[in-house]
Amino acid sequence: MISPTTKDTTSTNTTSSSRQALAGNATPSGRSSVIDSLKGCTLAGLRIPKEELRKKISIPKYLRISMKETILAEDLNAPAAKLLYDAAHASGADPVAPPEGPLVVFINSKSGGRHGPELKARLQTLMGEEQVYDLCLVKPHEFVQYGLGCLEKFSDLGDSCAKEVREKLRVVVAGGDGTVGWVLGCLGELPKEGRDPVPATGIIPLGTGNDLSRSFGWGGSFPFNWKSAIKRTLDSITNAPTCHLDSWNLVLSMPAGEALEAPYSLKPCEETSLDEGLEVGGELPEKLSWHQGVFYNYFSIGMDAQVAYGFHHLRNEKPYLAQGPISNKLIYSGYSCKQGWFFTPCSSDPSLRGLKNILRIHIKKVNCSDWEQIPIPASVRSVVALNLPSYGSGRNPWGNLKPEYLEKRGFVEAHADDGLLEIFGLKHGWHASMVMAELISAKHIAQASTIRFELRGGEWKEAYMQMDGEPWKQPMNKDYSTLVEIKRVPFHSVMVRGD
């Protein structure tokens, strides 16, 4: 059974009351999962003295409060921050030493059921309170623009402590895959602005799928004995090795005038040019609407996205039904059956069930500028372009392929930073179940550095798509093509690797 990757990003609107709350004192408020939980039961966390950890990761008070005041004011020249800077550098003031491993934490306090508020309170006791940013109050782009901007401004003024904190700073994200992707997307703006280095990111898993967390060694579930385990996690993030993660830019063009209820990760944008080296198979209307977004794990079209779409709408309408990872997965399993993934056809006409009837796929292989059309097996009802070796709560549907098979198919071993997406197909619920149980691999279709999906409706009125667990219903036109083009973002995300 395919489990959902949690869509857990919070609302983008920050209210004035939230700002006031931030300004004052914060109020505390499968098998891999079992193994991950048991890891948290060790005594390793207890051997890290609390005060020693606090000294190691806490940013000096004048800096962390200046960052907070700058964010609150949305002004790099915030008067409160200037007063703090002047006091720290006044004649006779004691010099301030930077910490060994400065951290800031973004926490989605709505994730993880009751653990979100409790974890926030725990984190605030382990470091400077102002270093824990609740995403209900502060958005990642605000931190990037004003929080990091404050450190950079102080560095330009000659503050060696601020300079070293900026260079050493690492980010911790406590949330699900949606939250991690949100933060990574905002940090990804730094290279475009020439603001290096990009802080490396570690993860505390609070979502349902937690595929990003699994892929980089931070576990697939919140640890059972989390109060002690969290100290070990924070200590590890300060000095663990880093690695790279590909991110993928997706551009969607569709006939103008069609209503699209886009997910958070897909934003309307101005007209964007598609690769002119590939002609569109169908006609394009005179006016197009455009959307753009970035994903880190996967993009999919078909029945899996339809099931995810139904699940998320049910959860939004009846949130009391989904109070944790186990209940989420049970509901998701039930909805898979209801949607016809197992027991009923997805259309009245069996000849229309496969994606082959509405979809064409063109790809570019690595270091190749020519487009190549890839045939879609007639039985495939879901096509997935996958970046990570973890999908659907820790499964690897691409599989660990043998060298001779890789050579025969012209594939290479899959990695999260190799500039390639693995494209595979799922036939139906029974096939998907065996793939998720890792009894068989999915239907291998291709590996690609660039992909274009072209859809035209015919008898289909709509298709379903999802990007890193955020599903949407895509209207389709019988006369004009809808295009989805995927290219790798030029800059890597920097991740902290766990155990």
**Contact yes or no for 63/162 (Cβ under 8 A):** yes
More confident residue, 283 or 380: 380
Read off the pLDDT of residues 112-122 as tens digits, 9 standing for 90 and up: 556 778 899 99
| Mean pLDDT across 240-258 | 93
Cβ burial 59-71 (10 Å sphere, 16+ → b, else e) = bbebbbbbbbbbb
Q: How far, in Å, are 83, 136, 339, 414, 488 from residue 246 at the CA level?
A: 41, 27, 33, 12, 7
Q: Does the domain made of 248-491 have the CATH classification 2.60.200?
A: yes
| Residue 315: predicted pLDDT | 60
Taking the alpha carbons of 58, 61, 66, 68 in that order, is the dihedral positive or negative? positive
**Contact yes or no for 179/106 (Cβ under 8 A):** yes
| Residue 318: predicted pLDDT | 53
Question: Mean of the per-residue pLDDT values for the chain?
Answer: 82
The ranges of the chain annotated as CATH 2.60.200 are 248-491
Q: How far, in Å, are 96, 302, 471 from residue 329 at the CA level?
A: 49, 20, 16
Is cis: bond before 319, omega within 30 of 0? no
In this structure, what token pair is assigned to residue 110?
């709505």
Classify residue 257 as left (phi > 0), alpha (psi -120 to 50) or beta. Answer: left
Q: How far, in Å, are 139, 419, 465 from residue 18 at the CA level?
A: 11, 40, 33
Cα–Cα distance, 221 to 455 (Å, whole number): 37
Read off the pLDDT of residues 92-137 as tens digits, 9 standing for 90 and up: 899 899 999 999 999 977 665 567 788 999 999 999 999 999 999 9
Taking CB atoms within 8 Å and a gap of at least 24, the contacts of 46-54 are 46/228, 46/231, 48/231, 48/232, 48/235, 50/125, 50/126, 50/231, 53/126, 53/231, 53/234, 53/235, 54/126, 54/127
Q: Is the pLDDT at 383 greater than 70, yes or no?
A: yes
| Residue 279: predicted pLDDT | 80
In this structure, what token pair is assigned to residue 313?
């709408």
Q: Is the pLDDT at 217 greater than 80, yes or no?
A: yes
**Contact yes or no for 336/365 (Cβ under 8 A):** no
| Residue 430: predicted pLDDT | 67
> How many degrees, rounded to 5, is the angle at CA 322 between CA 317 and CA 323?
130
Confidence band of 155 (pLDDT split at 50, 70, 90): very high
Read off the pLDDT of residues 22-63 as tens digits, 9 standing for 90 and up: 444 433 334 444 444 434 434 444 478 999 999 999 999 999
Read off the pLDDT of residues 318-365 as tens digits, 9 standing for 90 and up: 554 555 554 444 444 554 444 444 444 444 444 445 788 889 999 999
Cα–Cα distance, 270 to 397 (Å, whole number): 36
β-partners of residue 322 are none
Read off the pLDDT of residues 427-476 as tens digits, 9 standing for 90 and up: 876 677 777 777 778 889 999 999 999 998 667 788 899 998 889 999 98
Taking the alpha carbons of 382, 384, 388, 389 in that order, is the dihedral positive or negative? positive
Instruction: Report the candidate in 158, 187, 172 with the shortest Cα–Cα distance to residue 236.
Output: 172
More confident residue, 388 or 222: 388
Cα–Cα distance, 175 to 488 (Å, whole number): 25
**Contact yes or no for 174/4 (Cβ under 8 A):** no
Most confident by average pLDDT, 75-89, 116-130, 390-404: 75-89
Q: How far, in Å, are 28, 69, 116, 121, 264 from residue 138 at the CA level?
A: 16, 12, 16, 16, 17
β-partners of residue 386 are 298, 422
Instruction: Report the candidate in 8, 148, 493 with the shortest Cα–Cα distance to residue 294.
Output: 493
Q: Is the pLDDT at 11 greater than 60, yes or no?
A: no
Express as a percent the part of the chain with pLDDT over 90. 52
Q: How far, in Å, are 16, 294, 406 from residue 366 at the CA level?
A: 49, 20, 15
Q: Is the pLDDT at 87 greater than 90, yes or no?
A: yes
In this structure, what token pair is assigned to residue 289?
């609407």
| Residue 326: predicted pLDDT | 47
| Residue 368: predicted pLDDT | 85
- pTM, two decimals, is 0.81
**Contact yes or no for 393/220 (Cβ under 8 A):** yes
Q: Is the pLDDT at 478 greater than 50, yes or no?
A: yes
| Residue 271: predicted pLDDT | 84
Q: Is the pLDDT at 230 greater than 80, yes or no?
A: yes
